[in-house]
């Protein structure tokens, strides 16, 4: 079995570590610098956590799951311990494969873009490998990523930034829309609990209908909105206010920011 070490046992790092542990596909250990977090993970009695980088020597695959701002410090600390045979998997937003290769003096990197629902196995991840990564390694990492939801390979790094604009940050866009709907429900006199049920059940129902049928979103909108009816009135108001356009503009702003971060701005 392969030895995998995850550096950074926070939201994302722990999610992947747990996915790997539960799938029993590799030996898994976690490195974190927070004494409380290490104690917390060890107390769960499943995976071993430590603050020592020495365990990296025996790792086949190393997940990089610290905040991008911390990465240069981590690179300095581990550069002398890691080697070119090891495969690095980065979930760090806006950090290019080239930066990781140069920072660690290594070749094999897979960069991926997950999202928060990965923590409940409903994640969406895309990934791309550097040219030195074998098809076998890409497939292995692909199956690890799929333990947290859906995952597919993309053709180049730009598509990783583009993923940030859709699913990576997209969970927050959905919360934004849900928040508007829930606030409207409260304005109409529903209790907060009722507003939560109305909002979440509406989203869940719409998503399931969309997923279970091969019907376009426009067609679904037309099925709910009859001519001269109530829904059409709401959709007309959204269109009049250019809501569709501004949501798309938001995704472009997000992708541009991802590119800026990649350039260290």
User: Residue 8 and residue 233: Cα distance in Å, rounded?
Assistant: 49
Among 5, 7, 62, 97, binds ligand NAP (CB under 6 A): 7
Smallest gap from residue 58 Cβ to ligand NAP (A): 17
String of contacts with ligand NAP for each residue 59-78, x by CB under 6 A: ------xxxx-x--xx----
# binding residues, ligand NAP (CB under 6 A): 26
114 binds ligand NAP (CB under 6 A): yes
Nearer to ligand NAP, 87 or 92 (CB): 92
Which CB, 41 or 185, lies closer to ligand NAP? 41
- List C-alpha distances in Å: 97 to 23, 71, 89, 158: 27, 13, 10, 11
Q: Scan residues 13-42 and list those touching ligand NAP (CB under 6 A).
A: 13, 31-34, 37
* 3-state secondary structure at position 265: coil
* Position of minimal CB gap to ligand NAP: 10
> How many other β-carbons are positioned within 10 Å of the β-carbon of residue 177?
13
Q: How far is the CB of 262 from ligand NAP (least distance, A)?
A: 12
* Residue whose entry in the numeric block shows the structure tokens 């030195």: 132
Residues between 181 and 210 that touch ligand NAP (CB under 6 A):
none
Both tokens of 147, joined, read 């333990």
Residue 127, strand partner residues: 112, 153
Question: Which CB sits closer to ligand NAP, 174 or 184?
Answer: 174
Nearer Cβ to ligand NAP (73/234) = 73
Q: Choose the stretch contacting ligand NAP; rule: CB under 6 A; options: 111-119, 206-214, 221-229, 251-259.
A: 111-119
Q: What is the dihedral of CA 214, 177, 120, 90, to 10 degrees?
A: 90
Alpha carbons 8 and 173: distance in angstroms, whole number: 26
Q: What is the largest CA-CA distance in the chain?
A: 69
- DSSP H or E stretch at residue 166: none
Chain residues binding ligand NAP by CB under 6 A are 7-13, 31-34, 37, 65-68, 70, 73-74, 91-93, 114-116, 168
């Amino acid at each position: 079995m392969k030895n995998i070490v995850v550096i950074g046992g926070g939201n994302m790092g722990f999610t992947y570590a747990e996915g790997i542990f539960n799938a029993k596909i590799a030996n898994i250990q976690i490195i974190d610098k927070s004494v409380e977090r290490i104690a917390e993970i060890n107390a769960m009695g499943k995976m071993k956590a430590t603050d020592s980088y020495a365990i990296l020597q025996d790792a086949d695959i190393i997940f990089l799951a610290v905040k991008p701002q911390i990465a240069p410090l981590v690179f300095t600390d581990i550069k002398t311990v890691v080697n070119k045979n090891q495969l690095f998997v980065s979930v760090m937003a806006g950090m290019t494969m080239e930066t990781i290769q140069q920072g660690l003096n290594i070749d094999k990197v897979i960069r991926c873009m997950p999202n928060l629902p990965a923590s409940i196995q409903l994640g969406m991840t895309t990934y791309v490998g550097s040219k030195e990564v074998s098809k076998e390694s890409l497939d292995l990492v692909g199956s690890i990523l799929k333990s947290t939801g859906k995952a597919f390979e993309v053709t180049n790094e730009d598509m990783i930034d583009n993923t940030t604009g859709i699913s990576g940050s997209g969970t927050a866009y959905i919360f934004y829309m849900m928040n508007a709907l829930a606030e409207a429900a409260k304005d109409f006199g529903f209790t907060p609990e009722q507003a939560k049920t109305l909002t979440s059940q509406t989203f869940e129902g719409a998503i399931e209908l969309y997923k279970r049928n091969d019907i376009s979103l426009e067609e679904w909108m037309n099925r709910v909105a009859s001519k001269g009816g109530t829904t059409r009135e709401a959709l007309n108001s959204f269109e009049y206010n250019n809501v569709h356009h501004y949501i798309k503009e938001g995704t472009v702003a997000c992708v541009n920011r991802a590119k800026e971060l990649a350039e260290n701005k």
